[in-house]
C-alpha cells in the first residue's frame, strides 16, 4: 500500500530588514500565520476529535494542569523539557559588578527556548513558499474630532483628535517623525508639538494645533513597523480624507 504522507507548508513574506541601515535591499522573512492562534481549548477539542474517549472538559482540565505545572516550575527556576522544546530560565542585562543587585530597569526575566530533536526533525518536512514582498499595510482609517464626536473630516483647533489605523505609532528620529497638518496649497506644514496623549500602533490621540480656518491634509511621519523594530527610513502616511477647521472667526494660528 502506498504511503501518502501529509504535506506541510509555511508561507512567508519578505520585508525590509530594520537591523541593517547601511543596506537598503536586504530583507527578512515573516511567516504568514493565522487566521487564529491555537489555544488550550483548541488542543482539547482536537484530542477529542481524534478519538479520545475522555470528555472534552476532562481533556481541557488535563491540558490546563500540564501548562500550570510547567509554569510553576519555570517560576521556580527549573528548566523544563517537553516533547517539542526545552525552556531555560535566563536573566538579561548587564550587572556592574559581582556584588550588584537585580535592577528591574536594566535586568529582565525571560526564557530561552531550544527545539527538541523531535521538533527539529518535524520541521524538515515543512516546505517554505515565498509570497514575495509583504504588502504595506500602514494607513489611517478614521479620524474623530473628540470635541464633537464627528468623523466627517471636521476638526476643532486646540482640541484632540483620535487617529485610528494600522502601524501609525510615532517612533524614530524625533527631528523627522511626528504628526503634521499640511495646508491645502501645500505651502505650509504645522507639526503637533504637544506630547501625544496616546501613541499606539492602532490609535493616536493628538492635540490639533491652533490652526487657522481652512482645509488640511493629516500627515504622519514615522519609522515604526512593529514591536520595537524601526524602518531604516521614515515613511509618510496620509489620511485620504481632507480635514477642515472652520466656523466662527478665523483663529490667529501658526500659519
Band (227; pLDDT cuts 50, 70, 90): confident
Report whether pLDDT(9) > 60.
yes
Report whether pLDDT(251) > 70.
no
Burial (CB count within 10 angstroms: exposed 0-12, middle 13-18, buried 19+), residue 107: middle
Residue 255, pLDDT score: 37
The answer to which of 22-36, 116-130, 178-192 has the lowest mean pLDDT is 22-36
What number is the average pLDDT over the span 183-206?
A: 93
Q: Is 232 or 235 the better-scoring residue by pLDDT?
A: 235
Share of the chain above pLDDT 70, in %: 91
Band (252; pLDDT cuts 50, 70, 90): very low
Report whether pLDDT(233) > 80.
yes
Band (22; pLDDT cuts 50, 70, 90): low
Report whether pLDDT(250) > 50.
no
The answer to which of 35-44, 93-102, 176-185, 209-218 has the lowest mean pLDDT is 35-44
Instruction: Kindly report the average pLDDT of the chain as a whole number.
Output: 89
What is the set of domains in the chain, with CATH numbers?
8-133 (4.10.520.10), 139-245 (2.70.50.70)
Residue 254, pLDDT score: 41
What number is the average pLDDT over the span 178-205?
A: 94
What pLDDT digit, counting tens, does each position of 63-122 carry? 999 999 999 999 999 999 999 999 999 999 999 999 999 999 999 999 999 999 999 999
The answer to which of 44-48, 150-154, 195-199, 244-248 has the lowest mean pLDDT is 244-248
What pLDDT digit, counting tens, does each position of 27-72 carry? 888 898 877 889 999 999 999 999 999 999 999 999 999 999 999 9
SS3 readout for the chain: CCCCCCCEEEEEEEEECCCCCCCCCCEEEEECCCCCCCCHHHHHHHHHHCCCCCCHHHHHHHHHHHHHHHHHHHHCCCCEECCCEEEEEEEECCCCCCCCCCCCCCCEEEEEEEECHHHHHHHCCEEEEEEEECCCCCEEEEEEECCCCCCCCECCCCCEEEEEEECCCCCCCCCCCEEEEEECCCCCEEECCCCCCEECCCEEEEECCCCCCEEEEEEEEEEEEECCEEEEEEEEEECCCCEEECCCCCCCCCC
Report whether pLDDT(220) > 70.
yes
Amino acid at each position: 500500500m502506498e504511503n501518502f504522507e501529509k504535506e506541510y507548508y509555511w508561507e512567508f513574506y519578505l520585508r525590509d530588514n530594520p537591523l541593517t541601515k547601511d543596506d537598503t535591499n536586504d530583507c527578512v522573512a515573516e511567516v504568514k500565520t493565522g487566521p487564529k492562534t491555537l489555544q488550550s481549548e483548541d488542543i482539547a477539542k482536537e484530542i477529542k476529535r481524534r478519538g479520545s474517549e475522555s470528555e472534552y472538559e476532562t481533556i481541557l482540565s488535563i491540558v490546563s494542569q500540564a501548562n500550570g505545572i510547567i509554569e510553576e516550575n519555570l517560576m521556580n527556576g527549573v528548566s523544563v523539557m517537553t516533547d517539542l522544546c526545552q525552556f531555560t530560565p535566563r536573566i538579561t542585562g548587564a550587572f556592574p559588578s559581582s556584588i550588584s543587585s537585580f535592577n528591574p530597569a536594566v535586568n529582565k526575566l525571560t526564557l530561552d527556548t531550544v527545539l527538541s530533536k523531535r521538533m527539529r526533525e518535524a520541521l524538515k518536512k515543512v516546505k517554505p513558499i515565498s509570497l514575495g514582498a509583504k504588502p504595506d499595510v500602514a494607513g489611517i482609517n478614521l479620524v474623530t474630532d473628540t470635541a464633537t464626536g464627528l468623523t466627517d473630516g471636521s476638526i476643532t483647533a486646540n482640541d484632540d483628535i483620535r487617529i485610528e489605523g494600522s502601524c501609525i505609532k510615532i517612533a524614530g528620529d524625533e527631528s523627522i517623525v511626528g504628526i503634521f497638518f499640511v495646508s491645502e496649497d501645500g505651502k505650509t506644514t504645522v507639526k503637533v508639538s504637544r506630547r501625544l496623549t496616546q501613541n499606539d500602533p492602532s490609535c493616536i490621540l493628538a492635540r490639533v494645533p491652533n490652526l487657522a480656518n481652512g482645509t488640511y491634509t493629516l500627515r504622519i511621519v514615522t519609522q515604526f513597523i512593529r514591536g520595537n523594530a524601526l524602518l531604516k527610513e521614515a515613511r509618510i502616511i496620509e489620511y485620504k480624507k481632507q480635514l477642515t477647521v472652520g466656523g466662527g472667526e478665523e483663529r490667529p494660528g501658526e500659519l
